[in-house]
Amino acid sequence: MIIDKKTRLYVEKDAMPGVKRVMNKLAGDFEMVFGEKPAVNECDADILFSDEKNASEKNVRIIAATLGSSDFLDKLIAAGRFDSSAIKDKWEVYSFGVLNTENENTQTLLIAGSDKRGTIYGIFHLSELLGVSPWYWFADCTPLKKDNIEITDGYSMISKIPSVKYRGFFINDEWPAFGNWTFEHFGGFTAEMYDHVFELLLRLKGNYLWPAMWTSNFSLDGPGLENARLADEYGVVMSNSHHEPCLRHSEEWDLIKGEDTPYGTAWNFDKNREGLTNYWRGGLERNGKFENIITMGMRGERDSEVLGATATLKDNIDYIKDVVTTQNQLIKETISEDLDSVPRMIAIYKEVEKYFHGDENAEGLKHWDGLDGITCMLCEDNFGNLRTLPEEWHRDRKGGWGMYYHFDYHGDPISYEWINSTHISRTCEQMSQAYDYGIREIWIVNVGDLKPQEFPLSYFLDLAYDIDKWGQENKKVVKEYTEHFVDVNFPSFNEADKHKTGELLDGYTHLNYTRKPEALNPDVYDPVSYGESEKVAVKATILQGIAAKMWSGLSDDCLKDAFYQLVYYPVTAAANLIKMQLFAGKNHFLAGIGAMKANEYAAEIRKCIDRDRELVSEYHSINGGKWNGMMLSEHIGFTHWNDEECAYPTIMLTEPANRPRMIVTAGHGKRASQGGDWTRQKLILDELLDPKVSESFITVYNGSDKKLKFAVNGASEFEYEIKDAAPDWLKIYVPGKELVLDENTNEVRLTLKLDREKLMASPLLSDGIASTTLTISTERAHVDVEVWAGVCEDKDFVPQLSEIQLSQEKPPYVRDFVVSNELGLTIEAKDFVLGNKDVAEEGEYRVLSDFGKYGSGIKAFPTTKYFTPGKDAPYAEYSFKVGKQSDPSQETGESFDLFGTLITAPGNPVVKGNPMAVGISVNGGEIVTITTLDPGYEGGERTSPQWASGVLTQDHKTEFKFTAKAGVNTIRIYAIDPGVVLERLLLRQRGTRWAEGYLGKVPAWIEG
Amino acid sequence: MIIDKKTRLYVEKDAMPGVKRVMNKLAGDFEMVFGEKPAVNECDADILFSDEKNASEKNVRIIAATLGSSDFLDKLIAAGRFDSSAIKDKWEVYSFGVLNTENENTQTLLIAGSDKRGTIYGIFHLSELLGVSPWYWFADCTPLKKDNIEITDGYSMISKIPSVKYRGFFINDEWPAFGNWTFEHFGGFTAEMYDHVFELLLRLKGNYLWPAMWTSNFSLDGPGLENARLADEYGVVMSNSHHEPCLRHSEEWDLIKGEDTPYGTAWNFDKNREGLTNYWRGGLERNGKFENIITMGMRGERDSEVLGATATLKDNIDYIKDVVTTQNQLIKETISEDLDSVPRMIAIYKEVEKYFHGDENAEGLKHWDGLDGITCMLCEDNFGNLRTLPEEWHRDRKGGWGMYYHFDYHGDPISYEWINSTHISRTCEQMSQAYDYGIREIWIVNVGDLKPQEFPLSYFLDLAYDIDKWGQENKKVVKEYTEHFVDVNFPSFNEADKHKTGELLDGYTHLNYTRKPEALNPDVYDPVSYGESEKVAVKATILQGIAAKMWSGLSDDCLKDAFYQLVYYPVTAAANLIKMQLFAGKNHFLAGIGAMKANEYAAEIRKCIDRDRELVSEYHSINGGKWNGMMLSEHIGFTHWNDEECAYPTIMLTEPANRPRMIVTAGHGKRASQGGDWTRQKLILDELLDPKVSESFITVYNGSDKKLKFAVNGASEFEYEIKDAAPDWLKIYVPGKELVLDENTNEVRLTLKLDREKLMASPLLSDGIASTTLTISTERAHVDVEVWAGVCEDKDFVPQLSEIQLSQEKPPYVRDFVVSNELGLTIEAKDFVLGNKDVAEEGEYRVLSDFGKYGSGIKAFPTTKYFTPGKDAPYAEYSFKVGKQSDPSQETGESFDLFGTLITAPGNPVVKGNPMAVGISVNGGEIVTITTLDPGYEGGERTSPQWASGVLTQDHKTEFKFTAKAGVNTIRIYAIDPGVVLERLLLRQRGTRWAEGYLGKVPAWIEG
């Protein structure tokens, strides 16, 4: 069956207004795709029948109808032409298919919903088939023009029941961006604007909305009640946010409270019972006729605690019970005696959580039957990490559970309200777990200004709609969903461009997830250690380059503006911001050692600052200024939890020294030496002791603006390689034919390459290691760099400082050996050797791909289970070697004290106080329990330092000690508590420390 | 008697060559002053007599002769025309007077020396009378042209015996400045150059020199022995430096040592006894014929320890004994059997001091008779502070004592080798004490490159020559000596200009003393606290201004070049350097709070850096480049003890915020608030609680480049005063008619003036204090500044936080009250009330004026005495009040815990281990002993932190606790150990701390 501009659209005359409205949206889609907007014909069921029968010309028609309120469907059923059993009494289901025909001239595509939203989803399913993105308006994803689309004659589908009942988002923290934008374009938070929001929500297969609430009143701004009425027409279920009970808005209270009003002035149920009851009754009376989930309970005004500090827990619990009892009674009076028929929810958020759980002296609300039938809305920690989850006994409670999630947050430890900084891998992992724990009634996500969250919001609603497809069971979910999103929104792109677009989306969201843009500052990524600063800058530059190239090719493309908003702007602005901060880190480090190179970075920082401002202007001007205002959120250098006092990085300038001066650093070390006679500091380069490293470098910086020649071990001229200046096992490569610093060359990097085969034959070798000294010299100064290298090529070796090294007599100005850079062993958790076959029936560790800060992780399934190591617990096993470089596998009987660090995702325990433990056993020995959370840890509490730093660093680190033996060792990590995602295992030798750094060994997803 | 160009100069034919040479210098002085150079006539005594008798024309003649080697004098004595008794057998004395004449036509000025240098000093005394400065060549102090000078006919003087026998300086650390200079102008360290040095030394009435010794050999570079020969001719006594024994030079050893030489290669007397003996014998044979003080003993090569770490103290002592015994024997063999007739010295320096004192197991060298007749050279700590001094039993030892002092040093904790950074007040106080302790044989001072030390070197040699005139007994010594120096070197200046020149000399040396230029960095002076940064900058600017104005008036003056070197350059360059670092401190602070004002300071830093380089070039070009090279010493931002890796201050740039932003600070507090709704921080201004403060301020900075109006308590327009915005006791003054920040106004300062009389009448008052809140507001932000004020006007009040203040409920973001700025009591030690009349016969505290960092101090005399408090100890008494502001004198019976801080000069104890204690008694109570030195303190040891920081901060701080009563209290400080100079006493309340700062309350000599 061919659908084209001649296709006729039908609804019954008495179809629900929302269905009619959406059929008109479909007509609009036809216009975008086929160039002509068809009429939406309204007629009686009889006419639809007679038209079919009497058709003398070929015609194609689309009919949308809702079971239970459609004569047409009733007649079809009666005539045996439609089997409603697959959708009947189901939630938001539709049947979509070509009707067997009575007259060959007529082909009918029937969209039949089990209920209003079922029908609407069915209609929008056709939009999808037409190639119209849900974001066609809200992100300018102009569909491709087509002559027609074909639907196979036999095409017939029954949609699934959505995985989660209520699925929606919350427009929040809407100033300055969304607020300015809607006032400019729609004169406020009006129905004209919400029309677009509702349509977007439904096209995304959501059904639920918390409206903007800072300086806006959903039920007054339509104008009047128009917003609420329109929502109801669309079938969009409204709630107010977690602290706005009984269909009243936070701002409303300030408008109508007063001494001489029925409401009084105190937002306190003890002191102003009557006033608040009147206030709530008013809200229920006004909005109760619409489809809502009514917010119950109360918090203090504007998101604060309601009772003073002196109230006991029981006082608070009793207070909430009193409030809810009153509210239930009001609902009975104003909406329905059958309370169970009225969807209600109560947010178990912040302090209310304490009241919910209670303690030994005060029974919590969770045991109170007054909450029966009310959905308990749990929430994550505002940073995408679940907090307490329903305990097993409680999962099936009446009213069920909800989850309040964030892609945008205004609060501690740092707000994020600009572009998307959530990687969907974490959302998938966490929300799948929420689903496992029975949270299936309501999912809502705070999307801030909505606009910059197109990608994760799509994912969130798709996941809530179909968790089997997009949940954790899909091992390639990140890749596949990203491809899906690109397919839906950039249908005209060729495969290569689609692939690149996916790379860009994944790339910038991964970088932003690794550290939220607002929380970046020059001190986050280390300017030197692990090369992380340079590698992240390269990653950002690559993304920028791809985006720029694609953007320049799109000047005439209908998806130009869409690409700008969804890809080009966030990629370019994120990369630019990251580089600004990375360059500032370099700038500060280099200014600190007096290198003139600092001033080159100063110029780069300036460029990034200018570019950031330019990008905001560009965004505001695209598509004729349609999105003017949307990028107003501050996003650079937050010094407090919010944007107040945010600061661009300080730019530091270095003044050239009066005389020629060189400054030398070795590898990824921070120590700098100028090689003066008196203060000369020997540098130690120990990176080549790491079997994974066979290349290192020495950097020579200019400390003045004068020309300065230098030499390496006396050699000063050569062609790309300095020959015979070092033992044959160490090759030295240079950028050119002479070594010189001058005004234009502020930095020269000498590359050192280790030849382990030749090292093996070296007479200098002892226990598999050797050292040589490279002297970098000018006329007046010389810097000695002691280069240590080892022969071991086993990548699973934990390098040990040898007796030779430890016994070296060193002048006091030589730093102690430290484990710098990669001179420890970093094991990715996913690289386990044995797995857990023997206990797989009880549970298993599964690899999470494309996951989190380090690009992967492992997690024990089922996520609801507590395991006992040695009994039912799965384990992951890793092997490593310790000993001499000359023979790392040799079992000499020696033992070594090692330090381990477990890096886990920044998750919170599923019940309060659980330490998220794992068990560790070395070489089959005793299984030691390691708790990954500090005592007193509280997810979401800014007073809990491990939580507050974890949501910024995106990891938790746990240190432990153990003893290993010379030769091959194994270490097993056993699952114990649920929810732990293990990402990395670091091993290092006693007496060493890890170099400072944000990433440590740079993850493969960055380094490529 | 009129001396003019016709005056004839005579010496006897067989006069000493040095006397003849100096008479020729006098002839040169005549030429400079009178325009013609007279001949120096050499004739026999008879002719001098006959000429006089036969003179038929009026003639004036000057005859210089030396007692014991002058027939002329012998004849005069025989004729009863000259009484030699006043000079006979005295050291370096001369008689200077007009001879009673035999023929009225002839007037004779007779200069008769008791010895060669006596005669020479007499000749140069005439130079002084002519108005020729000792620095006429070495600092271009061109004398005034005159027609004649008159010497009263009756003029006759006998010079004093110099206070110290050998007085000289050490040219040291002569690279890059002196070395480059002399190579350019004299081809090396040649006799041609030393001729000027010897002349300078003698004109300054010195007689002793340690020559340059880094890469120079005094006895080889003349060329050949010419340097030594010329010194001897002049009567300049030579030594080698403290580690160059037996008239050999450090560099010489490297030149002649060798396997196949008589000297061998090891600089070790145990291993190479014969070689070193040969080496030393050679030196004695070569130079022994000249007048020397022979350096004895030995240290390691190039100023290091000679024996390894394993040697015991006794090994080292025996080693030195062996060496000295050998050297004494060599001297007997080569110079004189009568050892006592050969001046010798041994340096008790660094490790040798340990050998000198010995310990319980090893008797020290001080008890060894082998040192008899050898002057023991003690040394200060390289920073102008004496170390161990002769104990009473040992003061009169045979051979006596010497002191090695420094105006320039190359070593820990930080080198100072640029311009003068010694204030003569400290030299006076310390060297007078050295004299008190019997150090009168040798004084030598390290002057580095010599040139920038003209002023303190003159003082040092004048002090050594006449301690009665320029020593501590002269209470106005700093003022008078400065005037004297100006008189000698700038004779043509009028009184006003002389006064200003004195101010400049005192000003820059005082600033440089307070913190050596090399040791300055942006973190030394606090950018905010006490206003010290601004006040020091003002002081520097005033000095710069005076110097600039004077300099511009000197374009044709013959003293132009002299003024540049002695005054303009050091003043301007020091002030410029200090400001560079102060501006950098401001720049860093303001960049830290995001104030655009930071960028103004960035521009100022850049100007200072440029000006510093320009000034060096200027100095190098004056007088036709005569001093090219002399200012090559690095002098900015030392990061190590020496100039390697020195660094200009980093310049920080602040990027404007995207939206208008104000940043507010209160008074001298560092806390800044932008007044945003969320992160708003209340500021506390507590300075007006201090009775000494009745004016404070609020600073409003621009944080963006946009225009921003602000208001104070709602008022935004006014004329210089904001009326009615605060209680009547607080007046607010503003710079203009409106409060606005914009591109050109990055800072607005509101002045607050407290009217204590009105405050007294305030209804807000409680216990004599009150507070009010000033709100600084813009459209979007407001900052509350809580201003506290007290009524007390007693300047000796120690403010106490009241119960009201302590009980204030404050949000957590309000800082705790701290004693900031002057909100504690700072008492200058000199302001004692009672003194010590009752024990004055035993000792007394004397005030040192114009002294040290804080401008004054008190010290107990005699300096050699240990006192017992309560028995013979003098004390200084101070009174202060504690209690309520409303009635600070009220004796309520309450008691208060107070903290005291004693600030003392950074002196070292006169014997090792002495703690430099004082006694403290409060309100006549128990006398508690307070030790001002930490346990284990060792002056001059970089491993002793209190010493190492003290020589940089120029003070020691000692904290103590005590209890005071409400009302008037007295505190007495009793002298105990010798050498303590008490500078300040600080008192503060429990629970408070002093604000950070380098100076604390800014001393009067800076603030004026």
Q: Using one digit for the tens of pLDDT, what is the confidence trace for B898-940?
A: 999 999 999 999 999 999 999 999 999 999 999 999 999 999 9
**A809 at B interface, C-beta within 8 A:** no
pLDDT at A498 over 50: yes
**CA-only gyration radius of chain A, Å:** 32
Give the model's pLDDT for residue B172: 94
B635 to chain A: nearest residue by CA? A658
- pLDDT tens, position by position, B349-361: 878 888 999 999 9
- B676/A644 CB distance under 8 A: yes
Rounded Cα–Cα distance for residues B371 and B323 (Å): 11
DSSP per position, A676-695: -TTT---EEEEEETSTT--E
H-state helical runs in B288-387: 313-334, 351-357
Residue B517 · residue B419 · CB < 8 Å: yes
Rounded-to-10 torsion of CA B840, B841, B845, B846: 100
Give the model's pLDDT for residue A824: 83
pLDDT at A991 over 70: no
pLDDT at A836 over 60: no
**B679 at A interface, C-beta within 8 A:** yes
Give, in order, the Cα–Cα distances in Å from A828 to each of A879, A987, A994.
12, 11, 17
Residue B789 · residue B770 · CB < 8 Å: yes
| B609: chain A residues, CB-CB within 8 Å | 655
Give the model's pLDDT for residue A513: 98
Cα angle vertex A465, ends A464, A467, to 5°? Answer: 65
| A594: chain B residues, CB-CB within 8 Å | 645, 647
Rounded Cα–Cα distance for residues A39 and A976 (Å): 62
Give the model's pLDDT for residue A483: 98
Give the minimum alpha-carbon distance from B644 to chain A in angstroms, rounded to a whole number: 6
| A641: chain B residues, CB-CB within 8 Å | 678-679
pLDDT at B170 over 80: yes
A·B CB contacts under 8 A:
76
Ramachandran angles phi, psi of B542, nearest 5°: -60, -45
| B180: chain A residues, CB-CB within 8 Å | none
pLDDT at A397 over 80: yes
- B644/A602 CB distance under 8 A: no
* Crossing angle of helices A477-489 and A495-514, rounded to 10°: 120
Cα angle vertex A502, ends A500, A503, to 5°? Answer: 65
Please state, for a pLDDT cut of 90, what percent of chain A lies above it. 83
Q: How confident is the model at residue B154 (pLDDT cuts 50, 70, 90)?
A: confident
Non-local (6+) Cβ contacts of A525 within 8 A are A515, A532, A533, A536, A581, A582, A585, A997, A998, A999
Q: How confident is the model at residue A1008 (pLDDT cuts 50, 70, 90)?
A: confident
Rounded Cα–Cα distance for residues A586 and A580 (Å): 10
Give the model's pLDDT for residue B866: 96
B781 to chain A: nearest residue by CA? A644
Pairing of strands A672-673, A730-733: unpaired
B676 to chain A: nearest residue by CA? A644
**B594 at A interface, C-beta within 8 A:** yes
Partner residue opposite A650 with nearest CB, options B591, B613, B634: B591
- Average pLDDT of the segment spanning A932-945: 94
Residue A672 · residue A779 · CB < 8 Å: no
**CA-only gyration radius of chain B, Å:** 32
What 3 state SS string does B582-605 have?
A: HHHHHHHHHHHHCCCHHHHHHHHH
Rounded Cα–Cα distance for residues B896 and B821 (Å): 21
Give the model's pLDDT for residue A301: 63
- pLDDT tens, position by position, B86-98: 999 999 999 999 9
Give the model's pLDDT for residue B159: 97
- pLDDT tens, position by position, A853-876: 999 999 999 999 999 998 899 999
Q: Residue B905 corresponds to which amino acid?
A: A
Q: How confident is the model at residue B818 (pLDDT cuts 50, 70, 90)?
A: very low
Give the model's pLDDT for residue A804: 59
- pLDDT tens, position by position, B579-590: 999 999 999 999
pLDDT at B406 over 90: yes
Please state, for a pLDDT cut of 70, what percent of chain B lies above it. 96
From first CA to last CA, the distance across chain B in angstroms is 47
**A658 at B interface, C-beta within 8 A:** yes
Both structure tokens of A486: 């690109």
In eight-state DSSP terms, residue B541 is H
Q: How confident is the model at residue B817 (pLDDT cuts 50, 70, 90)?
A: very low
Non-local (6+) Cβ contacts of B482 within 8 A are B424, B502, B505, B506
Give the model's pLDDT for residue A724: 86
Give the model's pLDDT for residue A611: 98
Partner residue opposite B653 with nearest CB, options A651, A676, A678: A651
pLDDT at A806 over 70: no
Rounded Cα–Cα distance for residues A601 and A607 (Å): 10
Give the model's pLDDT for residue A305: 66
Partner residue opposite A645 with nearest CB, options B602, B652, B674: B674
Both structure tokens of B154: 């009756």
Residue A749 · residue A701 · CB < 8 Å: no
Non-local (6+) Cβ contacts of A697 within 8 A are A667, A749, A750, A751, A752
**Of A350, A280, A274, A278, nearest in space to A316 by CA:** A350
> How far does Cα B451 stand from its chain's mean position?
16
DSSP per position, A952-989: HHT-EEEEEEEEEESEEEEEEEEE-STT-EEEEEEEEE
Give, in order, the Cα–Cα distances in Å from A914 to each of A911, A939, A957, A983.
6, 11, 16, 20
Both structure tokens of A156: 């017939």
- A641/B676 CB distance under 8 A: no
Give the model's pLDDT for residue A678: 79
Give the model's pLDDT for residue A164: 98
Looking at B694-768, which runs of residues are DSSP E strands? 695-702, 708-709, 711-712, 721-722, 730-733, 740-741, 747-754
Give, in order, the Cα–Cα distances in Å from A616 to each of A382, B585, B806.
26, 34, 49
Give the minimum alpha-carbon distance from B31 to chain A in angstroms, rounded to a whole number: 42
Cα angle vertex A208, ends A203, A212, to 5°? Answer: 100
Both structure tokens of A410: 């205004």
DSSP per position, A46-74: HHHHHHHHH--S-EEEEEEEETTS-HHHH
Q: Give me chain A's average pLDDT, please.
A: 93
Give the model's pLDDT for residue B651: 98
**A866 at B interface, C-beta within 8 A:** no
pLDDT at A990 over 80: no
**Of B867, B914, B852, nearest in space to B388 by CA:** B914
SS3 A122: helix
Stated as kind and residue range, the H or E segment containing B920 is: strand B917-922
**B809 at A interface, C-beta within 8 A:** no
Q: How confident is the model at residue B813 (pLDDT cuts 50, 70, 90)?
A: very low
- A658/B634 CB distance under 8 A: yes
Give the model's pLDDT for residue A629: 97
pLDDT at B300 over 90: no
**B651 at A interface, C-beta within 8 A:** yes
Pairing of strands A40-43, B94-99: unpaired
B655 to chain A: nearest residue by CA? A648
What 3 state SS string does A747-774 have?
A: EEEEEEEECHHHHHCCCCCECCEEEEEE
- Average pLDDT of the segment spanning B359-376: 94
Give the model's pLDDT for residue B804: 59
pLDDT at B811 over 90: no
The position carrying tokens 């700072």 is: B826
Rounded Cα–Cα distance for residues B470 and B475 (Å): 9
| B641: chain A residues, CB-CB within 8 Å | 678-679
- pLDDT tens, position by position, B973-994: 999 999 999 999 999 887 677 8
- Of the residues B410, B587, B642, B650, the best mutation for testing chain A's interface (the one with the most A CB atoms within 10 Å of its CB) is B650
Residue A40 · residue A21 · CB < 8 Å: no
SS3 B945: helix
- Average pLDDT of the segment spanning B765-794: 93
ipTM of the complex: 0.91
- Average pLDDT of the segment spanning B99-110: 90
- Average pLDDT of the segment spanning B113-120: 98
Give the minimum alpha-carbon distance from B572 to chain A in angstroms, rounded to a whole number: 19
**B1 at A interface, C-beta within 8 A:** no
- A652/B650 CB distance under 8 A: yes
- pLDDT tens, position by position, A649-702: 999 999 999 999 999 999 998 889 999 887 767 888 888 988 989 999 999 999
SS3 A33: helix
- pLDDT tens, position by position, B198-224: 999 999 999 999 999 988 899 999 999
Give the model's pLDDT for residue A153: 72
SS3 B428: helix
pTM of the model: 0.93
Give the minimum alpha-carbon distance from A152 to chain B in angstroms, rounded to a whole number: 56
| A642: chain B residues, CB-CB within 8 Å | 676, 678-679
- pLDDT tens, position by position, A142-198: 999 999 999 987 788 999 999 999 999 999 999 999 999 999 999 999 999 999 999
Residue B105 · residue B59 · CB < 8 Å: yes
B411 to chain A: nearest residue by CA? A678
Give the minimum alpha-carbon distance from B593 to chain A in angstroms, rounded to a whole number: 9
Give the model's pLDDT for residue B604: 98
Give, in order, the Cα–Cα distances in Å from A380 to each of A354, A904, A910, A940, B691.
15, 18, 11, 8, 55
Q: How confident is the model at residue B838 (pLDDT cuts 50, 70, 90)?
A: low
Give the model's pLDDT for residue A304: 62
Query: Which B-chain residues 598-617 have CB contacts (< 8 A) with chain A?
Result: 602, 609, 613
SS3 B761: coil
